[in-house]
């Protein structure tokens, strides 16, 4: 029952003012939630519902994923998920899929073709799991996506080979561990928004991703927004929102 | 001399193979450089040339700003600039302006009216200098910008008052010190890209902005990209690039 | 206009459903705001309005303090305030006072006598400014407060002298720099809530208060809540809220 | 033998001055110890005896728990305990219970009904183990406790649904990982003491709970005391002490 | 061949100046080495030879321990050693012993009775492995040692019970995790050197022992020297050297 | 009035039991203090009373120093003191002295000649202020002290020149900034206790003394106790306590 | 096909200008790559191609190694490689070798004899794996290499024994954990470049190699360049480049 | 008196064995020093004697500089020196010079022309002071040096313009603040040793140079050695030693 329903019923006399007030009281918060959803439904078409699986028991994660699959008609995705969550989910809902590299369990429900163009660059092969998480998120959110791998700055020519693709992007995602310099170099080449994802690929004074994180936050190139270490999902999500802006809104 | 020119001359015999090789070796890099500038000039129309003034002597900063003003027809801006840079610049180029709060010296050259809509939210009055730097950058880059101040999460209702404006934004910039929770709350309300700027407003275990920086990087809301502590300019620049995408490109 | 008003007018036909929906949309947030204020006014009697002055210009701080003094009948306090804020405020409102040690400008408006009993313990003389900020906050919030100074754990007997006073407290505030061990020792002596305030008094590996902060967070005694380094105001505020619970509510 | 006894015997000549001095020297400390226990026994009725099991062998932990169960008539609890401790304890004392989520082994001995009202809010499902530790501690300490789960700030409406319960609390415990912004938002809504518990739920620049810890210590809302990362027990203990103050003492 | 030998031979003409120079050049270093050993042999009588086993393969560790046992007549000890090192050593040298708690494999060779008095205080049961490492080191170095356990500052009276023993010590070792406040309290009670050992017992913002380490380095009591986190051996070694000074030297 | 006095008067009937109890009640804590003082007076002969002046106003510091000078017959010292404290003190007590390099104001009261032998080694000229603070503390505590300067490990031969003096020391204090390697090298040369003092001399990744602090805590040589960064006083105090043990006690 | 080949064919008419341009377009980047390789081939003779195996699946790592072995005639090495990579590689290419200590899989293809002289010093036995990685890298890059082990500064004479070898080196690599003081001491002895490698050998406040890393960066001796913690490969690579300079170039 | 002198005199009988031994004992260390100096004098020709002026009083610094100028015939340099040191030195020794940007006071004594080729690259104008310190050090040590400024990675083409110069270098010094990515990019372009110098140019999460320091230590390109933040002198010194190796030695 929406706000409009309530008002119509009050006007029609099928709901007293007191009943309406009672309804509103409970409804308020949910309503704020649902109102937000309603309001944005058209914009958000194709936006998946997301579950962060780490720290939840496989049972908890699976239950939430299945409930979401039942109550929405959007895609559904569970990030940082072990394969055992997928096994539990797939027993009930075999249409779910699992991507081992991205550690993501998901249900793809997408009618309209992908739009725009997002380029995801992964500095090295070891950064692939995080990059793949970004790519999969972008695809579930309806973005046309290209993945370019192994273009670290230690061999600039490998990056420069892809200049055409890079210049054609509406927004770019740069995934890099080690010192994360790729974000600066790419940011210096393009005049499009760059989403930078530091990864935990490295050792010693890398401190689990601190080195590329600081590197990206301090990049001398402008136009770079950084997300958390290894947060391929977050980067994909942000890039998808930006990519969407290029559509006639 | 382009690649084609070189090949034609080699074919014609007016260039020996060794001369061609010599030519290529130098050419490669410069060309890449100039090509980039040429190629993007039209796209970058309206994008200001930017000078980071900190760590430069006022003389150095002023000289670069004036040279840029002479050699480009874009706006020119100097960030983190003391007033003495402005005084030096203004002697030569009185059309430059200075914004004391944003600590920015700039020359505005903009023909076309501002486009899109960027909302800049500052959690507290103390965050204003950073927010102002973002706003000024956005304006110099042609973005239609609204600034909302003093909407920290300790008084949610003050934020919720502005929901209409917030929902109308194409992209949002959230400027917050202390614990930086505003980014999470705003990120949870909207489905538009959010650029988060931690500020150094705080003390003790704030560690010069580390607290809101970590807070923003770990925000439970999706769709947030973070820039460096106190980097109002960087946030404005990124938001302007994103805002631009909403135009028919 | 309340929810009830809206429903009554919809029922009466003086508001169309669409007008009502428009009304609700804006109203939602403001209402939540004002409802909170209304709802809590009576409970919050005697709670001061607080301005964090650091990072604001003296003019900004003074203006906010004066506006608060005019629009509320509660006490008003400005923390981390230089004396120049006081001078600006006192020109307009001579009834304001300034405490140099606590760096606080305030207007005391309290009818009812102080209640309960809060004991503030400062480990050393150098911790006095922070302790004084806590004491002044407590007094402005109506708590009966005792300050005990120079009872660091290097001379346990000095602390044990005050056992009677310590045991009589409803809640205790422990202010300590150096290694902050006083919080553990006091926390081990009493069965009342202890609010611990690390201070930046120390040097070297003290890292501006990190040492006592970690010490207090890891205290082996139970019943201790920690606030930010040098945050005497925050400790006083929390202790006053706790102290208040001892009154018949 | 009390001080008075000693003086009487010295006066009576049954104790020489030297014997008295010897007596005093030993007596001083033990007496202070036992005096404290005696003095507070009545006040502390219902407070459990607590054993920190981590770092102890299961045998050590079990032995201490059983000895406590034998020598006191209070509840007994072992925190951070593996199930093997429980198995050892239950062989001797089958009335002990084990809570797997909270990792707590405990013996509940409570006659009087729970008092007051403590609300524990957990930002996400992954924060449940820590929240459960707080709830169990509160219950063992005689506090009437309500647990609200999955009210992170990324979906404010879910939190606002529970406003009635939140406003009814005497003291609140906020358990949150990620960026820990829930503490600030709740602290801004209520005028009651808030105990904030950062959790290690997160990854990358979360640094094992550092992000929400700093966030909570720097919260722009007042009235918040923070405990150690993942310290659900400590939060419950402090909240129980505060909750107790609301009873006629 | 000593310096004297060389000079005698040069004088006698059995060594030319150039041969002597050559001799000296190599000899210089070895001599400095052996000279040191010779010079101090008598003083160091009873000082064990020590092997740090972590990071070595069991084979490497065992081989070094056995070689030491063969080439010196002092005690031999291997710290941070797994039991598999012991098994390898014991096959060859069954007189070696293993202490599981201290993770030390050792060969005790001591004629003279222990001297002086070192008191080792362990704050909690969980600190016992580190404390035991200190005690065992002290005993192997000939110090008369007393271990007192579970005297954390959360229950001061338990510490004060042992005042007699504490005052009788020539030097004290304080082993404490959590916030490490015990070092400050003990340091404030005595006028003897205190060696403080932070342990990694704790969690969350304990950061693997950083909390008590900083606490001990910033102790407000004087006369405290700190060793590395969990370095029971180092503390025992230093305390043994200090204890030795009390003997007629 | 001591315990003995009280007992004697009770025995003599000049004090009733109740008066004695009253006396004891106040006296207890002081007594614990004074008892400790009495008990150790002979040992502590020559131990100065110490005031940490930083964070105190010059007036506060001066007042405490003068009061100490009046109530004890020991030496008195104020550490980390500006010259203005000295000026205030000297007006009342011209026998006080000031050491500008060590930033110490002190009153020397020493009858007996210095004992033992402490060698203080300063790695570089820039470490002299900290080293001087250690030396002055040692002298005020009655230790015979030698200062050796500019013996950093980058020129080993400068250190080795002083081997005779180094081997003759009962205890050594090593003061070093930069990487603090001197502590390891000295610790490897001697079999005496070494007190290591990291200094803040350095820049960049020195992080205000963190580099030598970690270096000293992780020294591969045994027998080293570390004090806080720049804590020359603390090192001197600890070394004096150790040096004292070498006297017939 | 090289640039020269293209030009020759264009000149010869076997390639049209358009075909050449097409060729160049793809070739450009590769060419920049290969050109770089070609250009430097003679210099780089004997320089291995290197694969960082960590974070790659064994299949990925093995595939890249084999492809490199097929497409170049240089040596090939895979660092931080588990033995399972070797097993996969060896099935296809049995001429590959595996060094378990250095965790390196490699194919040695070297005609010319090793040149120059690099001395690798390992402070302790536990530092051997990192030192071995450096040595193996140096050997694969054609450097004549000597390894000296167990020369920590706690026993200076053991280091000084090797002075002849040390003075004979063209460049030195110092591998040290704990406090890493060996780099300073060696740097002070020689006037040759020193490459310092901190290792993660240590515990507690060692923080995984931070202690020796900071120590080496702050070394008071000049002429030291530092590489990442445990980066034996990087140190060997840099040292080999430096060593190469000593050959007639 | 050298070793040889002593032997000759012993042989000649003008020195007894005991006198020789006495001589040797003192001499040993100095000798080790002088021997080292003698031995390397020819190699070190042109190597300046260096004084670190920070933390020294101007008088101390000036005195040491003048003494060095008198006792050696090498160049003399004082790093991190204020102009007041220069003024003091110049009064006595007017041939000293001062470089304000590099903050270096120096006396140049060089006969032979500079050798080799070192290229110093500074990422931005703000990095110039550090770069200048490196250049001046290199020049005083006899290296032929080229400085290239403002070649940050945000504008790759500016860097690539200088490829010829870069490829011609024997060794390169890269000076960069912000994220320090220039080191990786340059390291990927060349096969020569690269000395990387992070600078403190930056703000916020730059943490005084930590960002580029970690970036350089984790560079994905091989062949890079890193020195301390802002340590232009250290980088120049190391590069000069490496550059020297290219000469016929």
A19-45 tens-digit pLDDT: 776 665 544 433 332 222 333 333 344
Query: Alpha-carbon distance A72 to A59, whole Å?
Result: 20
ipTM of this model?
0.84
Query: Alpha-carbon distance A183 to A197, whole Å?
Result: 9
- Same domain membership, residue B101 and residue B120: no
Q: Which of B62, B81, B107 is the last residue of a domain?
A: B107
Q: Closest Cα of chain B to G2: distance in Å?
A: 11
Q: Across the interface, which of A154, A202, A211 has its CB nearest the CB of H188? A: A154
Q: Closest Cα of chain D to F44: distance in Å?
A: 20
Contact partners, residue F130, CB within 8 Å, separation at least 6: F122, F175, F197, F199, F230, F231, F232
When pLDDT is cut at 50, 70 and 90, the band that residue D29 belongs to is very low
Strand pairing partners for C99? C104
- Same domain membership, residue G74 and residue G138: no
- Confirm whether D177 is domain-assigned: yes
Closest residue in chain E to residue G157, using alpha carbons only: E33
Which tens digits make up the pLDDT trace of H112-156?
899 999 999 999 999 999 999 999 999 999 999 999 998 888 878
Q: Across the interface, which of G157, G177, G206 has its CB nearest the CB of E29? A: G157
**Chain Cα centroid distance, residue G126:** 20
Residues A36, D157 contacting (CB under 8 angstroms): yes
Q: Tokens 């200001």 appear where?
A: B48
CA dihedral over B52, B55, B57, B58, signed as positive or negative: positive
**Chain Cα centroid distance, residue C122:** 17
CA dihedral over H127, H133, H134, H138, signed as positive or negative: positive
Which tens digits make up the pLDDT trace of A157-171?
788 878 889 999 999
Comparing B125 with C29, which gets the higher pLDDT? B125
Q: Cβ of D161 under 8 Å from any chain A Cβ?
A: yes
Q: Closest Cα of chain D to A233: distance in Å?
A: 13
- Same domain membership, residue B156 and residue B232: yes
> With an 8 Å Cβ cutoff, are E29 and G161 in contact?
yes
Q: Give contacts of D 12-51 with E, CB under 8 A.
A: 25-26, 28-30, 32-34, 36-37
Neighbours, chain F (3 or more CB pairs < 8 A): C, D, E, G, H
- Confirm whether F201 is domain-assigned: yes
**Chain Cα centroid distance, residue F141:** 7
* Length of chain C measured in residues: 249
Q: Closest Cα of chain C to D242: distance in Å?
A: 6
> With an 8 Å Cβ cutoff, are H185 and A156 in contact?
yes
- Same domain membership, residue C188 and residue C221: yes
Residues C166, C186 contacting (CB under 8 angstroms): yes
Q: Across the interface, which of H60, H210, H230 has its CB nearest the CB of F125? A: H60
Closest residue in chain F to residue H210, using alpha carbons only: F205
Instruction: Say whether pLDDT at B47 is over 80.
Output: no
Closest residue in chain G to residue A129, using alpha carbons only: G55
> With an 8 Å Cβ cutoff, are F125 and H55 in contact?
yes
Q: Mean of the per-residue pLDDT values for chain C? A: 86
Query: Alpha-carbon distance C109 to C74, whole Å?
Result: 6
- Same domain membership, residue B123 and residue B97: no
Instruction: Say whether pLDDT at B45 is over 90.
Output: no
> With an 8 Å Cβ cutoff, are B205 and C200 in contact?
no
Spatial strand order of the sheet with E115-122 comes to E143-149, E115-122, E171-176, E194-198, E224-226, F224-226, F194-198, F171-176, F115-122, F143-149
Q: Across the interface, which of G126, G159, G163 has its CB nearest the CB of E54? A: G126
- Same domain membership, residue E240 and residue E119: yes
- Same domain membership, residue E180 and residue E63: no
> With an 8 Å Cβ cutoff, are F154 and G211 in contact?
no
Q: What's the pTM value of the predicted model, to 2 decimals?
A: 0.88
- Confirm whether E82 is domain-assigned: yes
Q: Which stretch of DSSP H or E encloses residue D145?
A: strand D143-149
> With an 8 Å Cβ cutoff, are E157 and D213 in contact?
no
Q: Cβ of A126 under 8 Å from any chain G Cβ?
A: yes
When pLDDT is cut at 50, 70 and 90, the band that residue D22 belongs to is low
Strand ranges inside H48-176, DSSP E: 49-52, 76-79, 97-99, 104-107, 115-122, 143-149, 171-176
Enclosing domain of residue A239: 115-245
pLDDT the model gives residue D36? 28
- Confirm whether H3 is domain-assigned: no
Which tens digits make up the pLDDT trace of A208-241?
999 999 999 999 999 999 999 999 999 999 999 9
- Same domain membership, residue B184 and residue B139: yes
Query: Measured between beta carbons, which residues in chain H are less than 8 angstroms from residue B64?
Result: 125
Instruction: Say whether pLDDT at B16 is over 90.
Output: no
pLDDT the model gives residue A71? 78
Interface size E-G, in CB pairs within 8 Å, comes to 59
Q: Give contacts of H 230-249 with G, CB under 8 A.
A: 233-234, 237-238, 241-243, 245-246, 248-249
Q: Mean of the per-residue pLDDT values for chain H? A: 86
Rg of the Cα atoms in chain E: 22
Max Cα–Cα distance, chain D, nearest Å: 78
pLDDT the model gives residue A110? 74
Query: Alpha-carbon distance H49 to H108, whole Å?
Result: 11
- Same domain membership, residue D122 and residue D100: no
CA dihedral D135, D140, D141, D147 (to 10 degrees): 20
Strand pairing partners for G105? G78, G98
Q: Across the interface, which of H156, H206, H210 has its CB nearest the CB of A185? A: H156
The tens-digit pLDDT sequence of chain G (249 residues) is 455 667 678 778 888 877 776 665 443 333 332 222 333 333 344 577 889 999 899 999 999 899 888 877 788 999 999 999 999 999 999 999 999 999 999 999 876 899 999 999 999 999 999 999 999 999 999 999 999 998 888 878 788 888 889 999 999 999 999 999 999 999 998 989 999 999 999 999 999 999 999 999 999 999 999 999 999 999 999 999 999 998 865
- Same domain membership, residue G176 and residue G155: yes
Lowest-confidence segment of B218-222, C147-151, E5-9, F111-115 by average pLDDT: E5-9
**Chain Cα centroid distance, residue C247:** 18
- Same domain membership, residue F239 and residue F120: yes
Q: Across the interface, which of F29, F64, F210 has its CB nearest the CB of C158? A: F29
Neighbours, chain E (3 or more CB pairs < 8 A): C, D, F, G, H
Q: Which of H107, H124, H143 is the last residue of a domain?
A: H107
- Confirm whether C17 is domain-assigned: no
Which tens digits make up the pLDDT trace of D149-194?
988 888 787 888 788 899 999 999 999 999 999 999 999 989 899 9
Q: Cβ of B124 under 8 Å from any chain C Cβ?
A: yes
Q: What is the mean pLDDT of residues B75-94?
A: 95
Max Cα–Cα distance, chain E, nearest Å: 77
pLDDT the model gives residue B246? 86
Instruction: Say whether pLDDT at B20 is over 80.
Output: no
Q: How many CB atoms lie within 10 A of CB E58?
A: 17
Closest residue in chain E to residue D61, using alpha carbons only: E125
- Confirm whether G31 is domain-assigned: no
Q: Cβ of A229 under 8 Å from any chain D Cβ?
A: yes
pLDDT the model gives residue E30? 33
pLDDT the model gives residue D109? 87
Express as a percent the part of chain A with pLDDT over 90: 62
- Confirm whether H38 is domain-assigned: no
Query: Alpha-carbon distance H220 to A181, whole Å?
Result: 9
Instruction: Say whether pLDDT at D31 is over 70.
Output: no
Which tens digits make up the pLDDT trace of F203-214?
999 999 999 999
- Confirm whether E175 is domain-assigned: yes
Q: Mean of the per-residue pLDDT values for chain B? A: 86
> With an 8 Å Cβ cutoff, are H208 and F204 in contact?
yes
Task: Tokens for D197, please give them.
Answer: 């518990």
Contact partners, residue F13, CB within 8 Å, separation at least 6: D11
Question: Do chain F and D touch: 3 or more Cβ pairs under 8 angstroms?
Answer: yes
Counting the structural domains of chain G, the total is 2
The three state secondary structure string of chain A is CCHHHHHHHHHHCCCCHHHHHHHHHHHHHHHHHHHHHHHHHHHHCCCCEEEECCCCCHHHHHHHHHHHHHHCCCCEEEECCCHHHHHHHHHHCCCCEEECCCCEEEECCCCCCCEEEEEEEECCHHHHHHHHHHHHHHHHCCEEEEEEECCCHHHHHHHHCCHHHHHHCCEEEEEECCCCCHHHHHHHHCCCCEEEEECCCCCHHHHHHHHHHHHHHCCCCCCEEECCCCCHHHHHHHHHHHHHHCCCC
Spatial strand order of the sheet with G49-52 comes to G49-52, G76-79, G104-107, G97-99
Query: Measured between beta carbons, which residues in chain F are less than 8 angstroms from residue C204?
Result: 198, 200, 208-209, 213, 228-231
Interface size D-F, in CB pairs within 8 Å, comes to 30
CATH of the domain at A201: 3.40.50.1970
Which tens digits make up the pLDDT trace of D98-156?
999 999 999 998 768 999 999 999 999 999 999 999 999 999 999 999 999 988 888 78
Task: Tokens for C73, please give them.
Answer: 């009948």
When pLDDT is cut at 50, 70 and 90, the band that residue D59 belongs to is very high
- Same domain membership, residue G205 and residue G170: yes
């Amino acid at each position: 029952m929406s706000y409009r329903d309530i008002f119509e019923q009050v006007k029609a006399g099928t709901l007293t003012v007191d009943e309406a007030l009672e309804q509103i009281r409970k409804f308020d918060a949910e309503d704020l939630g649902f109102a937000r959803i309603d309001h944005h439904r058209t914009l958000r078409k194709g936006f998946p519902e997301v579950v962060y699986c780490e720290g939840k028991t496989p049972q908890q994660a699976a239950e939430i994923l299945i409930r979401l699959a039942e109550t929405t008609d959007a895609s559904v995705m569970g990030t940082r998920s072990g394969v055992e969550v997928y096994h539990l989910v797939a027993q009930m809902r075999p249409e779910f899929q699992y991507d081992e590299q991205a550690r993501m369990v998901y249900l793809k429900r997408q009618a309209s073709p992908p739009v725009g163009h997002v380029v995801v660059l992964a500095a090295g092969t070891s950064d692939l799991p995080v990059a793949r998480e970004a790519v999969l998120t972008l695809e579930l959110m309806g973005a046309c996506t290209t993945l370019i791998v192994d273009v670290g700055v230690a061999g600039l020519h490998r990056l420069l080979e892809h200049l055409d693709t890079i210049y054609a992007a509406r927004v770019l995602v740069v995934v890099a561990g080690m010192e994360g310099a790729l974000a600066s170099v790419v940011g210096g080449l393009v005049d499009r928004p760059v989403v930078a994802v530091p990864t935990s690929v490295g050792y010693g004074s890398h401190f689990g991703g601190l080195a590329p994180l600081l590197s990206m936050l301090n990049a001398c190139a402008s136009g770079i927004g950084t997300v958390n270490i290894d947060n391929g999902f977050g980067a994909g999500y942000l890039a998808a929102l930006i990519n969407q802006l290029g559509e006639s809104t």
